Amino acid sequence: MSMDDDELSSQIRQHATRYTAPDGLRAGIRAQIALADAGRAARPRHRWFDFGSLSFAHFGWRTASVSFALGLACAVIVLPAIQRLDLNQPMDAELVTDHVRALKVGRLTDVVSTDRHTVKPWFQGRLDYAPPVFDLAADGFPLLGGRVEHVRGNVVATLAYARDRHMIDVFVWPSETKTMPVRSVNKGFNVLHWADGSMQYWAVSDVEGGELERFAQLWQAQAAMP
């Protein structure tokens, strides 16, 4: 039995299962849309395809409605699996993904400043904690600014630093544990994790491992100062 477009839309509204996309997924989709738009803008426009006498325009709204319904059905099936994958993904891999996405979209900072007294107050009202912010420019790691990221449902402070032409992201959130720096490598990016009993830190960069460890040592020295 066939149904018209209104009937199909009504069936979708009444019976389709709805899922709320996690913040990380929404951010990833927005990033991919932005990249796709940028790619289309850079490419020359082509004429409308026409295979013989059959144009894509001839398919009409019915095909568009069916395509929408199929896409919605796929989303209903796939989205729970995506959510499970996000929850099971190791933390270093997840933060590398956030770092790479920020590099691609060009959103390393929401507040752009080399002044820690500008960056630190910017987080007020955006977080329920006050992340430490240090000026390491004298040691070759200038502060670029900061932004917030959503990590596993939590809003997290992210500080951006530079080392020559390399970018370093430092993800910071509260922790009562103390751990020495531990380095791992994920997809070619170095990840350094440590905690000082007040905050935990995850530094992510493609800078050499030794340089990232020196960055962590400088950070710890600043944090230990009264």
pLDDT, tens digit (0-9, with 9 covering 90-100), for 98-109 = 999 999 988 889
Using the structure block, give the residue that is written with the tokens 């420019």.
Answer: 137
The CA distance from 170 to 136, in Å, is 13
pLDDT number for residue 221: 95
Residue 60 has pLDDT above 80, yes or no: no
Q: Which two tokens stand for residue 132?
A: 């430490």
CA neighbours closer than 13 Å in the CB half-sphere of residue 114: 7
The CA distance from 100 to 93, in Å, is 11
Residue 93 has pLDDT above 60, yes or no: yes
Per-residue exposure over 188-218, b if at least 16 CB sit within 10 Å of its own CB, e if not: ebbbbbbbbeebbbbbbbbbeeebbebbbeb
pTM of the prediction?
0.62
pLDDT, tens digit (0-9, with 9 covering 90-100), for 2-43 = 556 666 666 666 655 555 555 545 545 554 555 555 444 444
Mean per-residue pLDDT for 137-142? 97
The CA distance from 70 to 15, in Å, is 14
pLDDT, tens digit (0-9, with 9 covering 90-100), for 153-168 = 999 999 999 999 999 9
Lowest mean pLDDT of 79-83, 146-150, 184-188, name the range: 79-83
Q: Categorize the per-residue pLDDT at 118 as very low, low, confident or very high, splitting at 50, 70 and 90.
A: very high
pLDDT number for residue 52: 40
Residue 184 has pLDDT above 80, yes or no: yes
pLDDT number for residue 226: 80
Q: Which two tokens stand for residue 73?
A: 């059905």
pLDDT number for residue 106: 85
The CA distance from 222 to 216, in Å, is 10
pLDDT number for residue 26: 53
